[in-house]
Chains A and B, each alone.
Chain A
Protein backbone atom coordinates (compact mmCIF):
# COMPACT_ATOMS: atom_id res chain seq x y z
CA UNK A 1 0.00 0.00 0.00
CA UNK A 2 1.42 3.35 -1.07
CA UNK A 3 2.38 5.58 1.85
CA UNK A 4 0.62 8.96 1.97
CA UNK A 5 2.78 12.00 1.11
CA UNK A 6 4.41 12.78 4.50
CA UNK A 7 4.81 16.47 3.83
CA UNK A 8 1.19 16.87 2.76
CA UNK A 9 0.14 14.95 5.85
CA UNK A 10 2.07 17.38 8.09
CA UNK A 11 0.53 20.38 6.36
CA UNK A 12 -2.87 18.85 7.07
CA UNK A 13 -1.85 18.29 10.73
CA UNK A 14 -1.06 21.98 10.98
CA UNK A 15 -4.31 23.09 9.31
CA UNK A 16 -6.54 20.79 11.35
CA UNK A 17 -4.93 21.79 14.63
CA UNK A 18 -4.89 25.52 13.92
CA UNK A 19 -8.61 25.51 13.09
CA UNK A 20 -9.80 22.69 15.34
CA UNK A 21 -12.48 24.89 16.91
CA UNK A 22 -13.91 25.83 13.50
CA UNK A 23 -13.86 22.26 12.18
CA UNK A 24 -16.23 20.95 14.85
CA UNK A 25 -18.84 20.84 12.13
CA UNK A 26 -21.66 19.14 14.03
CA UNK A 27 -21.94 22.31 16.12
CA UNK A 28 -23.16 24.09 13.00
CA UNK A 29 -26.14 21.76 12.60
CA UNK A 30 -28.30 23.34 15.34
CA UNK A 31 -27.56 26.81 13.94
CA UNK A 32 -28.31 25.71 10.38
CA UNK A 33 -31.41 23.86 11.48
CA UNK A 34 -32.67 26.91 13.34
CA UNK A 35 -32.21 29.12 10.27
CA UNK A 36 -34.03 26.66 8.03
CA UNK A 37 -36.86 26.21 10.54
CA UNK A 38 -37.10 29.98 11.02
CA UNK A 39 -37.37 30.47 7.26
CA UNK A 40 -39.90 27.66 6.86
CA UNK A 41 -42.08 29.30 9.49
CA UNK A 42 -42.71 31.99 6.87
CA UNK A 43 -43.37 29.54 4.08
CA UNK A 44 -47.04 28.98 4.78
CA UNK A 45 -46.38 25.26 4.34
CA UNK A 46 -47.38 24.70 7.96
CA UNK A 47 -49.34 26.95 10.30
CA UNK A 48 -47.60 30.27 10.47
CA UNK A 49 -46.28 30.77 13.95
CA UNK A 50 -47.01 34.49 13.72
CA UNK A 51 -43.52 35.04 14.91
CA UNK A 52 -43.90 38.79 14.80
CA UNK A 53 -46.72 38.66 17.34
CA UNK A 54 -45.49 35.63 19.30
CA UNK A 55 -41.73 35.42 19.23
CA UNK A 56 -41.55 32.85 22.06
CA UNK A 57 -41.23 29.77 19.78
CA UNK A 58 -38.36 31.41 17.89
CA UNK A 59 -36.62 32.35 21.13
CA UNK A 60 -37.10 28.82 22.46
CA UNK A 61 -35.77 27.33 19.22
CA UNK A 62 -32.78 29.68 19.27
CA UNK A 63 -32.06 28.82 22.89
CA UNK A 64 -32.25 25.12 22.10
CA UNK A 65 -29.83 25.58 19.21
CA UNK A 66 -27.41 27.37 21.54
CA UNK A 67 -27.63 24.63 24.18
CA UNK A 68 -27.09 21.95 21.55
CA UNK A 69 -24.06 23.88 20.31
CA UNK A 70 -22.55 23.87 23.83
CA UNK A 71 -23.41 20.22 24.31
CA UNK A 72 -21.72 19.28 21.06
CA UNK A 73 -18.63 21.30 22.05
CA UNK A 74 -18.38 19.16 25.19
CA UNK A 75 -18.86 16.01 23.07
CA UNK A 76 -16.00 17.03 20.80
CA UNK A 77 -13.76 17.59 23.84
CA UNK A 78 -14.57 14.15 25.23
CA UNK A 79 -14.23 12.33 21.94
CA UNK A 80 -11.40 14.12 20.13
CA UNK A 81 -9.62 16.04 22.86
CA UNK A 82 -8.96 19.68 23.54
CA UNK A 83 -6.86 22.14 21.59
CA UNK A 84 -6.22 25.63 22.86
CA UNK A 85 -6.13 27.59 19.65
CA UNK A 86 -3.71 30.45 19.31
CA UNK A 87 -5.37 33.83 19.68
CA UNK A 88 -6.43 35.03 16.28
CA UNK A 89 -4.71 38.11 14.99
CA UNK A 90 -6.12 41.64 15.03
CA UNK A 91 -6.28 41.37 11.24
CA UNK A 92 -8.55 38.34 11.61
CA UNK A 93 -10.87 40.17 14.00
CA UNK A 94 -11.01 43.23 11.75
CA UNK A 95 -11.77 41.02 8.76
CA UNK A 96 -14.51 39.26 10.74
CA UNK A 97 -16.07 42.55 11.87
CA UNK A 98 -15.85 43.90 8.33
CA UNK A 99 -17.52 40.78 6.94
CA UNK A 100 -20.38 41.07 9.44
CA UNK A 101 -20.83 44.72 8.48
CA UNK A 102 -20.91 43.93 4.76
CA UNK A 103 -23.33 41.07 5.43
CA UNK A 104 -25.71 43.36 7.35
CA UNK A 105 -25.53 46.06 4.66
CA UNK A 106 -26.30 43.51 1.95
CA UNK A 107 -29.32 42.29 3.91
CA UNK A 108 -30.66 45.83 4.24
CA UNK A 109 -30.02 46.53 0.56
CA UNK A 110 -31.82 43.33 -0.43
CA UNK A 111 -34.86 44.28 1.65
CA UNK A 112 -34.96 47.95 0.57
CA UNK A 113 -34.14 47.79 -3.10
CA UNK A 114 -35.01 44.22 -4.23
CA UNK A 115 -32.33 44.25 -6.95
CA UNK A 116 -32.69 41.99 -10.02
CA UNK A 117 -30.20 39.52 -8.49
CA UNK A 118 -29.95 38.67 -4.81
CA UNK A 119 -27.05 40.80 -3.55
CA UNK A 120 -27.55 39.30 -0.10
CA UNK A 121 -27.08 35.82 -1.51
CA UNK A 122 -24.10 36.88 -3.61
CA UNK A 123 -22.53 38.57 -0.58
CA UNK A 124 -23.07 35.43 1.50
CA UNK A 125 -21.44 33.40 -1.30
CA UNK A 126 -18.47 35.78 -1.45
CA UNK A 127 -18.05 35.65 2.34
CA UNK A 128 -18.15 31.83 2.22
CA UNK A 129 -15.37 31.98 -0.35
CA UNK A 130 -13.41 34.37 1.87
CA UNK A 131 -13.84 32.00 4.83
CA UNK A 132 -12.53 29.12 2.71
CA UNK A 133 -9.49 31.14 1.66
CA UNK A 134 -8.66 32.59 5.08
CA UNK A 135 -8.71 29.15 6.71
CA UNK A 136 -6.14 27.83 4.25
CA UNK A 137 -8.20 26.70 1.28
CA UNK A 138 -8.39 23.04 2.30
CA UNK A 139 -12.14 22.72 2.85
CA UNK A 140 -13.08 22.32 -0.80
CA UNK A 141 -16.74 21.75 0.04
CA UNK A 142 -17.09 25.45 0.79
CA UNK A 143 -16.00 26.25 -2.77
CA UNK A 144 -18.85 24.15 -4.10
CA UNK A 145 -21.35 25.54 -1.60
CA UNK A 146 -20.34 29.13 -2.40
CA UNK A 147 -20.76 28.45 -6.13
CA UNK A 148 -24.20 26.91 -5.57
CA UNK A 149 -25.28 29.82 -3.40
CA UNK A 150 -24.07 32.32 -6.03
CA UNK A 151 -25.88 30.45 -8.81
CA UNK A 152 -29.13 30.38 -6.85
CA UNK A 153 -28.76 34.08 -6.00
CA UNK A 154 -28.50 35.05 -9.65
CA UNK A 155 -31.88 33.68 -10.68
CA UNK A 156 -33.96 31.33 -8.58
CA UNK A 157 -33.90 33.35 -5.31
CA UNK A 158 -35.27 36.60 -6.78
CA UNK A 159 -37.73 34.67 -8.93
CA UNK A 160 -39.08 32.21 -6.37
CA UNK A 161 -38.65 33.82 -2.94
CA UNK A 162 -42.05 35.53 -2.97
CA UNK A 163 -43.84 32.29 -3.81
CA UNK A 164 -41.86 30.18 -1.34
CA UNK A 165 -42.09 32.54 1.65
CA UNK A 166 -45.34 34.45 1.21
CA UNK A 167 -45.74 35.15 4.93
CA UNK A 168 -42.41 36.93 5.23
CA UNK A 169 -42.04 40.70 5.14
CA UNK A 170 -38.79 40.15 3.22
CA UNK A 171 -39.06 36.89 1.26
CA UNK A 172 -35.67 37.24 -0.44
CA UNK A 173 -33.86 37.69 2.88
CA UNK A 174 -35.78 34.71 4.25
CA UNK A 175 -34.84 32.63 1.21
CA UNK A 176 -31.16 33.41 1.63
CA UNK A 177 -31.43 32.68 5.37
CA UNK A 178 -32.83 29.24 4.49
CA UNK A 179 -30.01 28.64 2.00
CA UNK A 180 -27.45 29.72 4.59
CA UNK A 181 -29.00 27.31 7.05
CA UNK A 182 -28.60 24.51 4.52
CA UNK A 183 -25.04 25.66 3.82
CA UNK A 184 -24.23 25.50 7.55
CA UNK A 185 -25.71 22.00 7.79
CA UNK A 186 -23.93 20.60 4.73
CA UNK A 187 -20.70 22.49 5.41
CA UNK A 188 -20.78 21.40 9.03
CA UNK A 189 -21.20 17.73 8.11
CA UNK A 190 -18.28 17.90 5.70
CA UNK A 191 -16.14 19.73 8.28
CA UNK A 192 -16.89 17.00 10.78
CA UNK A 193 -16.01 14.35 8.20
CA UNK A 194 -12.71 16.14 7.52
CA UNK A 195 -11.91 16.17 11.24
CA UNK A 196 -12.86 12.52 11.75
CA UNK A 197 -10.74 11.40 8.80
CA UNK A 198 -7.77 13.47 9.98
CA UNK A 199 -7.93 12.28 13.58
CA UNK A 200 -8.61 8.64 12.94
CA UNK A 201 -10.28 6.12 15.25
CA UNK A 202 -10.35 6.55 19.02
CA UNK A 203 -7.60 4.84 21.03
CA UNK A 204 -8.65 1.31 22.02
CA UNK A 205 -6.32 0.69 24.90
CA UNK A 206 -2.64 0.39 25.84
CA UNK A 207 -0.51 -0.91 22.99
CA UNK A 208 -3.39 -1.03 20.55
CA UNK A 209 -3.66 2.07 18.36
CA UNK A 210 -1.08 2.43 15.58
CA UNK A 211 1.65 0.17 16.91
CA UNK A 212 1.24 -2.51 14.23
CA UNK A 213 1.97 -0.19 11.30
CA UNK A 214 5.26 1.58 11.85
CA UNK A 215 7.34 1.27 14.99
CA UNK A 216 6.93 4.47 16.97
CA UNK A 217 5.53 6.43 14.05
CA UNK A 218 1.84 5.57 14.36
CA UNK A 219 -0.26 7.07 11.59
CA UNK A 220 2.30 9.62 10.53
CA UNK A 221 4.52 8.72 7.56
CA UNK A 222 8.06 9.87 7.00
CA UNK A 223 8.59 13.36 5.63
Chain B
Protein backbone atom coordinates (compact mmCIF):
# COMPACT_ATOMS: atom_id res chain seq x y z
CA UNK B 1 0.00 0.00 0.00
CA UNK B 2 1.46 3.41 -0.96
CA UNK B 3 2.20 5.91 1.80
CA UNK B 4 -0.70 8.21 2.64
CA UNK B 5 1.59 11.24 2.98
CA UNK B 6 0.82 12.52 -0.51
CA UNK B 7 -2.85 12.60 0.43
CA UNK B 8 -1.96 14.55 3.54
CA UNK B 9 -0.02 17.11 1.52
CA UNK B 10 -2.93 17.37 -0.93
CA UNK B 11 -5.42 18.52 1.70
CA UNK B 12 -6.93 21.93 1.02
CA UNK B 13 -4.86 24.28 3.18
CA UNK B 14 -7.50 26.98 3.15
CA UNK B 15 -9.93 24.58 4.81
CA UNK B 16 -7.42 22.55 6.82
CA UNK B 17 -5.95 25.44 8.83
CA UNK B 18 -7.09 24.62 12.41
CA UNK B 19 -9.00 27.81 13.15
CA UNK B 20 -10.71 27.86 9.77
CA UNK B 21 -11.57 24.17 10.00
CA UNK B 22 -13.17 24.82 13.39
CA UNK B 23 -15.14 27.75 11.94
CA UNK B 24 -16.28 25.76 8.93
CA UNK B 25 -17.17 22.74 11.08
CA UNK B 26 -19.27 24.91 13.38
CA UNK B 27 -20.99 26.68 10.49
CA UNK B 28 -21.70 23.33 8.82
CA UNK B 29 -23.67 22.31 11.90
CA UNK B 30 -25.97 25.32 11.81
CA UNK B 31 -27.72 27.76 9.48
CA UNK B 32 -25.61 30.65 10.75
CA UNK B 33 -23.78 31.97 13.80
CA UNK B 34 -22.84 35.41 15.01
CA UNK B 35 -19.37 36.80 15.63
CA UNK B 36 -19.60 36.50 19.42
CA UNK B 37 -20.45 32.80 19.28
CA UNK B 38 -17.67 32.04 16.80
CA UNK B 39 -15.21 34.02 18.89
CA UNK B 40 -16.13 32.17 22.09
CA UNK B 41 -16.07 28.83 20.32
CA UNK B 42 -12.63 29.26 18.79
CA UNK B 43 -10.95 31.55 21.36
CA UNK B 44 -9.64 33.72 18.53
CA UNK B 45 -9.13 37.44 18.93
CA UNK B 46 -11.45 39.78 17.03
CA UNK B 47 -8.73 40.54 14.51
CA UNK B 48 -7.84 36.90 13.91
CA UNK B 49 -11.45 35.85 13.56
CA UNK B 50 -12.20 38.71 11.17
CA UNK B 51 -9.15 37.77 9.13
CA UNK B 52 -10.13 34.11 8.87
CA UNK B 53 -13.72 34.96 7.97
CA UNK B 54 -12.49 37.39 5.32
CA UNK B 55 -10.33 34.69 3.73
CA UNK B 56 -13.19 32.22 3.73
CA UNK B 57 -15.55 34.81 2.30
CA UNK B 58 -13.03 35.68 -0.42
CA UNK B 59 -12.87 32.00 -1.35
CA UNK B 60 -16.67 31.84 -1.54
CA UNK B 61 -17.01 29.34 1.31
CA UNK B 62 -18.70 31.66 3.77
CA UNK B 63 -21.17 34.56 3.46
CA UNK B 64 -20.80 37.30 6.06
CA UNK B 65 -23.68 39.62 6.80
CA UNK B 66 -23.30 42.84 8.78
CA UNK B 67 -26.26 44.70 10.17
CA UNK B 68 -27.32 46.74 13.15
CA UNK B 69 -29.51 45.60 16.02
CA UNK B 70 -30.43 49.01 17.34
CA UNK B 71 -27.06 50.71 17.67
CA UNK B 72 -25.09 47.47 18.07
CA UNK B 73 -23.29 46.08 15.00
CA UNK B 74 -24.03 42.40 14.46
CA UNK B 75 -21.94 40.21 12.20
CA UNK B 76 -23.35 36.85 11.18
CA UNK B 77 -21.65 34.17 9.13
CA UNK B 78 -23.13 31.24 7.29
CA UNK B 79 -21.76 28.60 4.95
CA UNK B 80 -22.43 28.92 1.25
CA UNK B 81 -23.33 25.83 -0.77
CA UNK B 82 -19.75 25.72 -1.99
CA UNK B 83 -18.55 25.97 1.61
CA UNK B 84 -20.80 23.14 2.73
CA UNK B 85 -19.55 20.94 -0.10
CA UNK B 86 -15.93 21.85 0.68
CA UNK B 87 -16.31 20.94 4.36
CA UNK B 88 -17.96 17.60 3.55
CA UNK B 89 -15.23 16.80 1.02
CA UNK B 90 -12.56 17.71 3.53
CA UNK B 91 -14.03 15.55 6.29
CA UNK B 92 -14.38 12.66 3.82
CA UNK B 93 -10.73 13.10 2.84
CA UNK B 94 -9.67 13.13 6.51
CA UNK B 95 -11.67 9.98 7.20
CA UNK B 96 -10.13 8.18 4.19
CA UNK B 97 -6.71 9.27 5.35
CA UNK B 98 -7.39 8.03 8.87
CA UNK B 99 -8.48 4.61 7.58
CA UNK B 100 -5.43 4.34 5.32
CA UNK B 101 -2.97 5.23 8.06
CA UNK B 102 -4.51 2.62 10.36
CA UNK B 103 -3.45 -0.13 7.96
CA UNK B 104 -0.30 1.39 6.49
CA UNK B 105 3.07 -0.07 7.39
CA UNK B 106 6.41 1.24 6.03
CA UNK B 107 7.87 -1.08 3.37
CA UNK B 108 10.83 -3.24 4.41
CA UNK B 109 14.16 -1.95 2.98
Contact = CB atoms under 8 A, between A and B. Distances in A.
Contact of A14 (B25, B33, B76): B25
B19 A84 contact: no
A10 B91 CA distance: 11
Contacts of A222: 18
Interface string A181-210: 000000000000000001110110011111
B22 A85 contact: no
A14 B29 CA distance: 6
A85 B31 contact: yes
A16 B36 CA distance: 15
B105 interface: no
- Chain B binding surface, main DSSP class: helix
Given A17-B41, A81-B35, A211 B29 contact: no
B21 A223 contact: yes
B2 interface: no
The secondary-structure label for the interface of chain A is: loop
A200 B29 CA distance: 19
B43 A206 contact: no
Interface in B8-43: 16-19, 21-22, 25-43
Contact of B30 (A7, A84, A213): A84
Contact of A217 (B18, B25, B39, B47): B18
Contacts of B94: 7, 223
B45 A210 contact: yes
B96 interface: no
Contacts of A207: 45, 47
A82 B33 contact: yes
A209 B37 contact: no
Interface of A: 6-7, 9-10, 13-18, 20, 80-87, 198-200, 202-203, 206-211, 213-214, 216-223
Interface of B: 16-19, 21-22, 25-48, 51-52, 76, 78, 94
